Structures are given as structure tokens and as C-alpha cells.
Structure 1
Amino acid sequence: MSESISRRTFLKKGLRTLATVTGLGIGGGYYAHNVEPKWLEIKHKIISHPLIPKGFHGMKMIQFSDTHLGFQFQLNDLQAIVNKINQLDPDVILFTGDLMDEPNKYNAQQKIPPVLNQLKAPLGKFCIYGNHDHGGYGSEIYSDIMKKSHFTMLQNTSTKISLLTAEEIYIAGVDDAMLGQPDFEKALSGIPEEVYVIMLSHAPDLADISSKYNIKYQISGHSHGGQVQIPFAGALVTPPYAEKYREGTYEIDSLTLHVNRGLGTTRLPYRFLSRPELTIYEFQAE
């Protein structure tokens, strides 16, 4: 009799445990596929440095990155992000690469510029190449879309942001590290020595190169923050050139690096412990 009760109790406990594990698996899968990919986090970063002119005090830049349109992130998601960015009233907008997941296979290319054209930034909209922008014969497709969307492409070049007071800072951009040809010398050519320089690089690990130049801040994407992070183990996958600096803010010698987790997904339509991110950078003159 006691053996029968013992066996019955064991089976009940076993079934409860199996049901719990199965429930967690199903619930976790639903969360990672349907909840976290749309659970936007807005991060606020302060940029303060003696080289920032007083006229730039309070200026606001917003970075969005890695939309990977066509995989999980769709045009209606892009429209929602555009609405959110405009609500935040930026002076400058930065896109740090990977607009479409597979540019040559994305069938709604012509619908992207009307959405991105709604973005308002009085001091300019700037973009760089990511690896997916070059992939799938996408270089010209991406360039044409961003031009029609009135973004300035920074491919191994720089641009000056000037105020009516004649005060200025520079934003430079390098080509993608995986499928492009990043050239720091070319990107920084002609920039005066005693000015504040921001570098846009899709690949965060290029910060080790940026730190050797007169660059004070690097803004990157690419990593998705690992996209799926396993508790106590870390990111499931980190792409090349995002293995050292995966997410968040780092101090590398005299350089500050911020790695944005991006908005979309790739390879797997999941995010877990790696929410999509918009980053607001606010300037403070010392």
C-alpha cells in the first residue's frame, strides 16, 4: 500500500514538474517572440566635455539602429518609431546601420522613404552603412533609400554641425567593418584639431581604433545586445566586431563608446533580456 502511494506521489510530482517546465518554455517563447521585441527602452546619455561649445548646451541627438526591416520588424513598427522620435523633438537624428535584413529581397523598398521623411531634425539626419546594408547587393539600394529620405550618408567622411554663433562640432562616419572598407584617415581628413568629434561606426569593436585618434565619442549598433541572453551565461550569439563591446557605455582611454541594442531582430525572431533601444544624447557644455 505504501509503495503504491509512494509511486502515485512520485508520478504526480513528476507531472507537475513537467507541466511547470513546459509552461515556462511556452511562456518564455511567447514573451521572447511577442513581448520583448516590442518593449522599447529609451536610454538617456549625457555628453559633457570641455571641447563642447556653450551654444550646444542642451542640444539633443537621437540614435536608432538595426531595424532589419522584413525579418520581424515591419513598416508599421518603423512608423511607430518615427512617431516616437518626433515626439522626443531631437535636433539631430542618427541611424547607425542595418535598415533591411536582406535589401535585395525586401519588396517594400519604395515605401520606406515616405516614412523616414517624416523624421524632423533641424540640424540634420545622418546615417552610416551596416553589414546588412552592403549584404545581398544592397549597397546602392540602401544609399538610394537614405538619400530619398534626406539622410546624409557618412561613408568614410565627416560633416560639420554649425550654429549661428559660428560654434561647431563634427560628426564622422566609417564604412562597415565586415563588408565595407572603413578608413579612419579619410573619415577624419580636414577636421580641425581642437573640436569635438563624434564617430559613427556600425561595428562597436572599432572603438579600439577610434581611441587612437582625436575622437571623443563613438556611437555604434550591430550587436543587438546579444539579442538573446542566457541568465548567468551571457549572449547566445555575438556577431564579429561586436564581441568585445556588446551593449551599453564604455570608457576607452579618452574615448567614450555607446553601443545601442537596435530595434529589430535577425537570424532568430526573438529578444530575451535585450530590449530594443532608442538612445537620446544630450550635450552639456562644461
Structure 2
Amino acid sequence: MPKKVSRRSFLKRTFGFAAAAFGLSAGGYYYARDIEPRLLDITNHKISNNAIPQAFDNLKIVQFSDTHLGFHYDLDQLEELIEKINKIRADIIFFTGDLMDEPNKYSEANQIPSLLQKIEAPLGKFAIYGNHDHGGYGSDIYKSIMEEAGFILLLNENRKIEVSGSSIHVIGIDDAMLGRPDIKLAVENIEEPSYKILLSHAPDLADGAYSFGIQLQLSGHSHGGQIKIPFFGALVKPPYAERYHEGFYEIGSQEPLTLYVNRGLGTTRLPFRFLSRPEMTIFTLHSDNGN
């Protein structure tokens, strides 16, 4: 049954979209279409947890997401991004979905693997499905590209990463909109205790992930709202990114799950970004076990 929209909520949305239309007129339109989408924000965050082994102290992770190649994001931009990623000298790379906007219609798909192959990460490159990776019969296209590029594509499964006899686990689940995410299946055979990082394109699945002892979830999908209006916030919140759409959240009260929602790199539906710059994120793990 469709969710009933209150009069107050309707008026707020109407005013918000009217404000957006006004803000995007003239100079605002030019800024949101041609300037902000190219203003890459490289954010740095430290992740501390007593479950992180000492051997992983200061280990560096890069997350990038939602390139949407073919919709106002091109291969030249991807190549520039890869150069920036390699300068960071990350240990692990995570791509959290939506590589191409329409996989079966993107004529330059065959050029993507050779670019992504250039990304360097001694402990592994991991990827998951986003809704656009499944859309347009793109599931097999995306799988072929990522595997040829040297990424481990996680589909309701996990991988152990080992350093000096210690380990953590990376877990990847399917997309929530067009796939079949199964966290229970994905965490099978993980030895406890273990520091667990979940890759889920859809951030709102964090509420369910908390019960599986996940310490960190990395997501995308929301584009940070893509267009934000002062005092009203994000205007574009897709399904499964309605509760959590940007930055850090703590899920649960005891031993909470830390969720981070990356704003992504490209745009979708509308070729605009306003107060929601494209983002690449660097996480540095910090062992907080007191040893």
C-alpha cells in the first residue's frame, strides 16, 4: 500500500524542489552541472576498534563508488582518479558498486578493465554489485570487467585478509534493489573473534547487519543526496538510502556497527551536484586493543 504523505511533508517537498529549481537557475545551474561534479573531495578518516589486530595498525584502505560511467562521467575522469588512488599507496581497495550507468548501452566498456588493472593494492582489490551493475542485463558484463581488472567480486561471501599471522574479514553482499543480499550466507565460516568489514551498496541494510557482529560497513548508492538545499537537506534519497545517506553513523548501542556512506563520484538521473561534492575516501585502521 502506498505510504500516505502528510500535508506538511508534501508542502516541504514542494518548497524544497522549488528552491532547488531556483538555486539551479543561471549561475547555480552552471555550477551544479559543470563545476561541483568535478570537485573531487578526498576525505581521510581513522577507524579505531579493539578487534583490529596489531598487525593491521595503520593499514590504509581506499573506497570509491558510483562512477556511473556513461552518464556525465567518462574514462578520462576514471584514469585521473586511478592516478590519484595510486599516489595514496593504499593496502586495500574497495569499490562499492555502480560502475556504469547502463552497462548494456555503454560502448566503451571494453576499455574499462585495462584502466582498473592499473590500481595497485598489495592486500587486494574488492568489489560488490550496485543496482546499476545489475540493471540493463548488466550483471555478467560487470562481473567480467571486474574480474578481468583483478578485483575480487564478492556476492554474499567473504574473504580473509592475512598479515603476519593475523587476519580480518571482508564481506560483500548483493545489491538490495535488483539483487538478493544475504548477510547470513555471507558471514558463513568466519572464525570468531574477527574484525569484519561489510561492503553493501545499500547503506540502509546496516540495521540488519548489526546483529551479525559487523564492526564496519562501507556503502555508496546515495550520492550524498546529490542535491542538497540549506535547511532542507538532501533531495534525492533512493530506496535503501533513505535513512543513511552521507558520512558516519553508529548503529546499535552495545559494540555498535560503524557505517560510512560514501557520496560517490558520478551522478545519476540528473547531471547535477549541489553541496554534495564527489568523494573518494581513505580509511586508516588503528588497533585499539591495548596490547
Query: What is the TM-score of this pair, normalised by structure 1?
Result: 0.91
In structure 1, what is the equivalent of residue 131 of structure 2?
131
Tell me how far apart the structure 1 counterparts of residues 124 and 27 of structure 2 sit (CA, whole Å). 43
Q: What are the Cα deviations for residues 139-192 of structure 1, in whole angstroms up to 9, with x where unaligned?
A: 0000000011000011100000001x2100000011000000000111000001
SS at structure 1 position matched to 2:212: coil
Contact 1:193 1:214 in 2 (8 A): no
Which residue identity lines up with residue 196 of structure 1 in the other structure?
Y
In structure 1, what is the equivalent of residue 199 of structure 2?
200
Tell me how far apart the structure 2 counterparts of residues 41 and 237 of structure 1 sit (CA, whole Å). 20
Instruction: State the 1:25 CA deviation.
Output: 2.5
Which of 247, 254, 257 is matched with 1:255 structurally? 257
Which residue identity lines up with residue 38 of structure 1 in the other structure?
R
Tell me how far apart the structure 2 counterparts of residues 209 and 131 of structure 1 sit (CA, whole Å). 19
- Indicate yes or no: 2:41 matched with 1:41: yes
Q: Which 4+ residue blocks in structure 1 deviate beyond 4 angstroms?
A: 21-24
Which residue identity lines up with residue 184 of structure 1 in the other structure?
I
Q: Which has the larger radius of gyration?
A: 1
Tell me how far apart the structure 2 counterparts of residues 22 and 198 of structure 1 sit (CA, whole Å). 41
Which residue identity lines up with residue 150 of structure 2 in the other structure?
H
263-272 or 43-52, which deviates more: 43-52
Tell me how far apart the structure 2 counterparts of residues 203 and 150 of structure 1 sit (CA, whole Å). 23
Tell me how far apart the structure 1 counterparts of residues 267 and 156 of structure 2 sit (CA, whole Å). 26
Q: What are the Cα deviations for residues 26-69 of structure 1, in whole angstroms up to 9, with x where unaligned?
A: 11111101110000111111111111111111100000000000
For residues 209 and 22 of structure 1, do their structure 2 counterparts lie closer, same or farther at Cα, with a shift above 3 Å needed?
closer
Tell me how far apart the structure 1 counterparts of residues 22 and 87 of structure 2 sit (CA, whole Å). 41
For residues 241 and 22 of structure 1, do their structure 2 counterparts lie closer, same or farther at Cα, with a shift above 3 Å needed?
closer
Gaps of 5+ in 2: 1-20
Tell me how far apart the structure 2 counterparts of residues 24 and 195 of structure 1 sit (CA, whole Å). 48
Gaps of 5+ in 1: 1-20
SS at structure 2 position matched to 1:212: helix
* Root-mean-square deviation over aligned CA pairs: 1.3
In structure 1, what is the equivalent of residue 223 of structure 2?
224
How many equivalent residue pairs?
A: 265
In structure 2, what is the equivalent of residue 57 of structure 1?
57
Contact 2:86 2:119 in 1 (8 A): yes
Query: What is the TM-score of this pair, normalised by structure 2?
Result: 0.89
Instruction: State the 1:22 CA deviation.
Output: 9.0
Tell me how far apart the structure 1 counterparts of residues 43 and 217 of structure 2 sit (CA, whole Å). 16
SS at structure 1 position matched to 2:211: coil
Tell me how far apart the structure 2 counterparts of residues 113 and 106 of structure 1 sit (CA, whole Å). 14
Which residue identity lines up with residue 50 of structure 1 in the other structure?
N
Contact 1:69 1:101 in 2 (8 A): yes
1:1-286 to 2 correspondences below 5 Å: 25-163=25-163, 165-253=164-252, 254-286=256-288
Q: What are the Cα deviations for residues 60-98 of structure 1, in whole angstroms up to 9, with x where unaligned?
A: 000000000000000001001100000111000000000
For residues 105 and 209 of structure 1, do their structure 2 counterparts lie closer, same or farther at Cα, with a shift above 3 Å needed?
same
Which residue identity lines up with residue 166 of structure 1 in the other structure?
G
